[in-house]
Chains A and B, each alone.
Chain A
């Protein structure tokens, strides 16, 4: 007798009691494995709303703070900073030949050169954390060895182009620069120390070449350099902030920032026609639309800028070939990072509020734990940063909240240097590659280095 007929009979009440008991031994129709997850989500949401402390002033204030922070990001940073940065990151992953970089990390590579390349190549190679670990394992086992692999693993997440741009924009250029420079310098130091400590264990490697992806497009280096310089020019001039002092070079640049942006945009349009086979009439048409909007709304530059972004997307997606790959990889980054960043901003706003106001966590707690520039504050920030998981870029709004709540700049840098490179889940994966002893050494070195660099930075700024 099949299960289904048994149940129908049971429902219909046609089966005597004795037989129903027998049915209990049959496999259940309810598959708890597929139910418990969504059920606990629904129950959890219900319980949260059941006890939602909406009348509590601190909570209500924190919700407003969280929305206000998200609004500030949307108004100030998404169009001018994040969107251009996504396009640059996309262009890097399509147009820059990764093989050219990886060859310096192979088994036969010059040792000094391989440390140098490993410590800066994160800008190009490590835009997504899922690409870091295979590269790391490959460099260690088949390539230049443990030292360069560790240097790459450590510096990669800290110096990828998106992280540097957003850190400098939101937290200030000196922290952005200190983060990039600190990550590069300490990655080499940590790599060298790891190499010294575990020199004896380095086994003979298979002298096989690392396999690289074939480059999708070949373009002379100088063309890539010009092309990236123009895109960075658009990004920098569009995001140029108003300086406090109304005279001098910085202010002179600020007063013509939209003219500069327009100039870079025109050069960019020419490059699209010359090198990327975009039809000239399309570029002229797009430029005319953007220019018209800039003239009609001279005090709302975002309108013309948005039109510029939209028309660029139309241009590169309606042209066949490499511009399509560029669009797709830009879209991949956007899709992957934006939801996480929004969640990060909302959570940071809820817990910490905007600078100058409080969220759920009282500012005194923050300033008593990581305020000032004591050894303890720096060490605490490093350890927390090392264990906590930050999704790509979310370290920025979280640190912004912490700084606003009274965190010192030294501990902030310590957290930035220890945070994105390490997290508890990430440590477990590294352990599966390196083993427990090397992983603990690596984590300890990162924490100590981050603490020291935080102390130094906090002393000067």
Chain B
């Protein structure tokens, strides 16, 4: 599974990254978590409000810090 966190590096993006990484570790799912900071790459997903979470190419959340249960729902 391939997870991307889209965000240029604001505080909310860092919190999102931490939550996603925690959930991946806790659930034991095999997944790579990658942070995308390049603005054009972010725009390429059609995301205009960061942070956003992309799982296997699908944009799952936009413009907010997701809750742990939500993240678990996307990767579980």
Contacts and interface: CB of A to CB of B under 8 A. Distances in A.
A138 B47 contact: yes
Contacts of A137: 39-40, 42-43
A433 B40 contact: yes
B62 A212 contact: yes
B63 A98 contact: yes
A291 B33 CA distance: 54
Task: Bin the interface of chain A by size.
Answer: 20 to 34
B44 interface: yes
B71 interface: no
7 contacts: A130-B10, A133-B39, A138-B42, A142-B43, A212-B49, A212-B62, A213-B61
A429 B49 CA distance: 17
Between B6, B7, B43, B50, the greatest number of chain A beta carbons within 10 A of the residue's beta carbon is seen for B43
Interface in A133-178: 133-143
A98 B49 contact: yes
Interface stretch (A203-211, A231-239, A341-349, A453-461): A203-211
Contacts, number: 78
A304 B49 CA distance: 39
Interface string A76-99: 000000000000000000000010
A134 B50 CA distance: 7
Contact of B44 (A131, A141, A143): A141
A26 to B, nearest CB: 35
Given A133-B39, A213-B63, A429-B39, A208 B46 contact: yes
Nearest to A139: B48
B43 A134 contact: yes
A336 interface: yes
A135 B48 contact: yes
Between B38, B59, B62, the greatest number of chain A beta carbons within 10 A of the residue's beta carbon is seen for B62
Nearest to A328: B65
A130 B47 contact: no
A64 interface: no
Contacts of A56: none
A134 B8 contact: yes
B76 interface: no
Interface of A: 98, 102, 128, 130-131, 133-143, 206, 208-214, 216, 332, 336, 429, 432-433
B46 A138 contact: yes
A146 to B, nearest CB: 13
B57 interface: no
Contacts of A336: 11
A137 B7 CA distance: 13
Contacts of A209: 46
A435 to B, nearest CB: 11
B40 A141 contact: yes
B8 A135 contact: no
Contacts of B48: 102, 134-135, 138-139, 142-143, 210-212
Smallest CB-CB A-B distances: 4 pairs: A213-B63, A138-B48, A137-B43, A130-B10
Given A134-B8, A134-B47, A135-B48, A212 B39 contact: no
Contacts of B61: 213
A332 B8 contact: no
Given A139-B48, A212-B48, A213-B49, A134 B39 contact: yes
Nearest to B44: A141
A211 B59 contact: yes
Contacts of A133: 8, 39
Between B7, B47, B48, B63, the greatest number of chain A beta carbons within 10 A of the residue's beta carbon is seen for B48
